[in-house]
Amino acid sequence: MSLSARLVRNATVLVDVGDVTFLVDPMFSSPGENPPVPNTPNDRRNPLVAMPKVDVSHDAVVVTHRHQDHWDEAAREAVDTDVPLFCQPADADAFVEEGFTDVRPVDEVATFAGVEIHRTPGRHGHEQLAEDMGPVSGFVFEGDESVYVAGDTVWYDAVAETLDRFDLDLVVLNGGAARFVEGDPITMGVEDVAAVREATTAEVTVVHMEAINHCLLSREELRSSTEDVHVPEDGERVTL
């Protein structure tokens, strides 16, 4: 069995567990097709960069939550409506309403082609802002080897508990320190990533960077401020 994660762009990642490929959080819009995230300090249309030339063929789709930078209109149009689509229970009805016929909400754990898919908690920001952002989830894909895709979350006790619970080989974090004009970041910044690095012996990879207007932490800033953390470019594959 082999394990790899290939960053497409932003939080769109292809996760290979053995012979099974999961397309996580597809966002396929062309540059500037969507408006800026409102109430943010960098008023540029999204996405900021083009899709790389990557084969996004997949066996199943996993959506951590339905914010536009994780599931957009272009993805809705491109993804086959009969694909197995795993999501958090709160989002299942919306996918069905969009015409998807094999929606599989994950309460705690599901199985697909021999891979166990565990849904894990997330906190999309701090205090009241996290509540306002709505529910978010991460997912652990467990075969002979295991990868944790944390989703849009900051470092907090449930992330630490997930790292302790599973025998992980690879951890994929959403970085960028995304933020609004007011309040603390709603995705991981340098301190969050460093906390994860200290808490696990798994390979740590950080995505969700330099593609959406409110992600203000650059790849170079993160690389220069952390150790033993991989920060891939769009299209790059991390293989164990």
Q: Are strands 60-63 and 146-149 parallel, antiparallel or unpaired?
A: unpaired
**220 is a domain residue:** yes
Q: Read off the pLDDT of each residue in 67-81 and give the average, rounded to a whole number.
A: 98
Number of structural domains in the chain: 1
**157 is a domain residue:** yes
Question: Please, is 83 exposed, middle or buried when counting C-beta atoms within 10 Å of its C-beta (0-12, 13-18, 19+)?
Answer: middle
Helix, strand, or coil here: 39? Answer: coil
Query: Who's near 174: CB < 8 A, 6+ residues apart?
Result: 11, 150, 151, 152, 153, 187, 188, 206, 207, 208
8 Å CB contact between 168 and 176: no
**239 is a domain residue:** no
Q: What is the pLDDT of residues 174-206, one digit of tens each?
A: 999 999 999 999 999 999 999 999 999 999 999
Of 18, 35, 100, nearest to 62 by C-alpha is: 100
Model confidence band, residue 64 (pLDDT cutoffs 50, 70, 90): very high
Residue 1 has pLDDT above 70, yes or no: no
Cβ neighbours, 10 Å, residue 220:
11
Q: How far apart are CA 60 and CA 100, in angstroms?
A: 12
Domain of residue 111 covers 3-120+128-232
**106 is a domain residue:** yes
**137 is a domain residue:** yes
Q: Read off the pLDDT of each residue in 71-75 and give the average, rounded to a whole number.
A: 98
**153 is a domain residue:** yes
**39 is a domain residue:** yes
pTM (two decimals): 0.97
CATH code (residue 217): 3.60.15.10
**238 is a domain residue:** no
What local confidence, expressed as pLDDT, does residue 240 receive?
A: 84
Cβ neighbours, 10 Å, residue 118:
18
Q: Are strands 170-174 and 146-149 parallel, antiparallel or unpaired?
A: parallel
What local confidence, expressed as pLDDT, does residue 234 receive?
A: 98
Q: How far apart are CA 100 and CA 84, in angstroms?
A: 9
- Please give the structure tokens belonging to residue 102: 């094999």
Model confidence band, residue 133 (pLDDT cutoffs 50, 70, 90): very high
